[in-house]
Chains A and B, each alone.
Chain A
Amino acid sequence: MTTTVTSHRTQPPAQPASLRAKRLPWYAAPAIAVAALALSAALVYGTDIGGPVLVVALGAVLYLVGLFAAATAVEGRRSARNRTWSALIHSAFVLAVLPLVSVVWTLVSKGTERLDGNFFQTSMNNIGARDANGGAYHAIVGTLEQVGIAALITVPLGILCAIYIVEYGRGKFAFAIRFFVDVMTGIPSIVSGLFVLAFWVLVVSPWFNDGRPSFSGFAAALALSVLMLPTIVRSTEEMLRLVPAPLREGAYALGVPKWKTILRVVVPTALPGIVTGVMLAIARAAGETAPVLLVAGGGAAINANPFENNQSSLSLFVYQQAGDASKYAPARAWTAALTLVALVLILTIAAKLLARRNRLSR
């Protein structure tokens, strides 16, 4: 008994006589796929237990089993495992992309119905349940202003905070800041909205508004800032840590002061990554509905002043139109959702191009 075990361990695997091995012909995999689908279709429709989705799902399973069996018979176990895992990884990729394709397809197919000039030029002011027109101009203005102000607050603050943590922070204080940034990452958006409602709308805003509390787009921007800040700090922190130490030392050795090294060498090197983090934060903030509803109140009319009175936003507009009783409302909601996604996409692409403005990085 023991001898067989030890010999199994100590002896190297037998050398193959030839470096060539039998391979399945190129048409084997597609042939197995077709056969699996046909078998699956026959099974599903024969017993009448489901539709095309089940055919594809069952077909995929049968394909994996068939491929493994065929490869084991012809090519051996190692090669069969390799083929099966490759197929599994590809299926995982398809599964992951499917929802994305589905979302984009739904948005485009349903959102184009109201994708007209009127939608981008009018608000919902005086639009009744029987009016087919009406638009999201006020909501687009609201989203741009709220997210813009939130970005103006959080981008400098977040990047400076990350620089402090990475370059200067030592000891308990830096540790405490990192800990609280981590805690902030987990704040639900409704809580950040409630915080701004209790603090800004109810306590601070009466001072500017003859003693009456007032909703405002700025309050929404504050609530979004609370959500954006930790994302920006953490992603910038990671990017700054990736900048190799020899680059910093190279600058120090030229007699460049530390602050200038950070400003001119470290941050530019990490810039593309920092921009990605900022865009993630902005995309998240642009999609938030709850805080805007709580502290900006929403509204049907165009209000370009973020510091006074109700403002809407695209995500809030989607929420309100989707729940509206008018038969024209769903089309408006879909178009607004499409607009929101397109807006974030355009901003992201623009930011990436700006970060690449530096001709040296590819």
Chain B
Amino acid sequence: MAKRVSATNVTAYYGGFKAIENINLTVEPKTVTALIGPSGCGKSTFLRSINRMHEVLPGARVEGSLTIDDQDIYDRDVDVTAVRRTIGMVFQRPNPFPTMSIFENVVAGLKLNGVRKKSILEDAAEKALRAANLWGEVKDRLGKPGAGLSGGQQQRLCIARTIAVEPQVVLMDEPCSALDPISTLAIEDLMFQLKDKFTIIIVTHNMQQAARVSDRTAFFSIEKTGDPGRLIEYDNTQKIFSNPSVKKTEDYITGRFG
């Protein structure tokens, strides 16, 4: 089910601007990996290149190779939509579809990909909402608009929507940055549960969060504004936060820069 993600010399551009350069790292299945680093260091760019969302922006492109269990997702004959179905993504701001109800939001991925049968959709919706710890709160109002939920509930709705298509890897781009501490806690708990089934990669600005939820941590940084982001250190979370091997990581962790 969960798959290994492996990046080799990944370099990403926005038009002429090189955002990240030569990223090499491997994410093991059924782990949570946190990407940390100062703003503008390319964490999100790297995350978005893992499910080919980077190229959605005009002029953006990726070089190097990114494999999911030995399949290069940037091969010419790869179907982008299949990649994105395998590697789901949760965004920084909750983005439920405003014209759809809670139920329709959860099954949007299935429905828009051709699943019609109502019983299958209902089962999938319940399963995904239970997995996202939202079932109890919304089971009586599945027909109500998804945009009517609170921010934390909306974000869990988006997580439910993402896992309803049963991806193998879930990418999260600062999923808690717009949420209050209680909703954040709910989503962190959720990550622990989801780890049994999925490979999770999360970008976060919150180092306590990285320390709490992740097994491995990757630290990205830039020399100065305008330079491409690089992977500085990638190790077990424990080691990164207690005894990092690179001076720059230590400076960042202890709050001396960034």
Residue interface mask A322-362, B partner, CB < 8 A = 1 = 00000000000000000000000000000000000010110
Q: How far is the CA of A358 from the CA of B89 in the complex (A)?
A: 28
**Min distance, Cβ A21 to any Cβ of chain B, angstroms:** 40
**Given A253-B162, A254-B112, A254-B161, A268 and B85 contact (CB-CB distance below 8 Å):** no
Q: Which residue of B is nearest A246, CB measured?
A: B95
**Given A253-B162, A256-B81, A260-B112, A246 and B98 contact (CB-CB distance below 8 Å):** no
Interface residues of B in 143-166 (CB under 8 A from A): 145, 147, 158, 161-162, 165
Q: How large is the interface on B (under 10, 10 to 19, 20 to 34, 35 or more residues)?
A: 20 to 34
Q: Which residue of B is nearest A270, CB measured?
A: B99
Residue interface mask A247-264, B partner, CB < 8 A = 1 = 111111111110011001
Interface residues of B in 52-110 (CB under 8 A from A): 53, 56, 58, 81-86, 88-89, 91, 93, 95-101, 108-109
**Given A170-B58, A264-B112, A252 and B53 contact (CB-CB distance below 8 Å):** yes
**Residue from B56, B100, B113 within 8 A of A252 (CB atoms):** B56
Q: How would you classify the secondary structure of chain A's contact residues: helix, strand, loop or mixed?
A: helix
**How many positions in chain A have a CB within 8 Å of any CB in the partner chain?**
24
Decide if B109 touches A361 in the complex (CB within 8 Å): no
Contacts of B109 in A (CB 8 A): 254-256
Q: How far is the CA of A88 from the CA of B97 in the complex (A)?
A: 42
Is residue B11 contacting chain A, with contact meaning CB distance below 8 A? no
**Residue from A248, A254, A257, A268 within 8 A of B99 (CB atoms):** A268
**Min distance, Cβ B153 to any Cβ of chain A, angstroms:** 16
**Given A246-B93, A260-B112, A264-B112, A253 and B99 contact (CB-CB distance below 8 Å):** no
Q: Which residue of A is nearest B93, CB measured?
A: A246
Interface core residue of A254, A256, A257 (most chain B CB under 10 Å): A254
Q: Which residue of B is nearest A254, CB measured?
A: B109
Decide if A255 touches B113 in the complex (CB within 8 Å): yes
**Residue from B53, B98, B100, B113 within 8 A of A253 (CB atoms):** B53
Is residue A269 contacting chain B, with contact meaning CB distance below 8 A? yes
Q: How far is the CA of A256 from the CA of B81 in the complex (A)?
A: 6
**Given A264-B112, A269-B98, A254 and B162 contact (CB-CB distance below 8 Å):** yes
Is residue A265 contacting chain B, with contact meaning CB distance below 8 A? yes
Contacts of B49 in A (CB 8 A): none
Interchain residue pairs with CB less than 8 A apart (23):
A244-B95, A246-B91, A249-B89, A250-B161, A251-B97, A251-B112, A252-B56, A253-B53, A253-B84, A253-B88, A254-B109, A254-B112, A255-B81, A255-B83, A256-B113, A260-B112, A265-B99, A269-B98, A358-B99, A360-B98, A360-B99, A361-B98, A361-B99
Which A residues have a C-beta under 8 Å from some C-beta of B?
170, 244, 246-257, 260-261, 264-265, 268-269, 271, 358, 360-361
Which B residues have a C-beta under 8 Å from some C-beta of A?
51, 53, 56, 58, 81-86, 88-89, 91, 93, 95-101, 108-109, 112-113, 145, 147, 158, 161-162, 165
Known contacts A246-B95, A254-B84, A269-B97; 15 additional CB pairs below 8 A are A250-B96, A251-B108, A251-B112, A253-B51, A253-B91, A254-B85, A254-B88, A254-B112, A255-B86, A256-B112, A260-B112, A268-B99, A360-B98, A360-B101, A360-B145
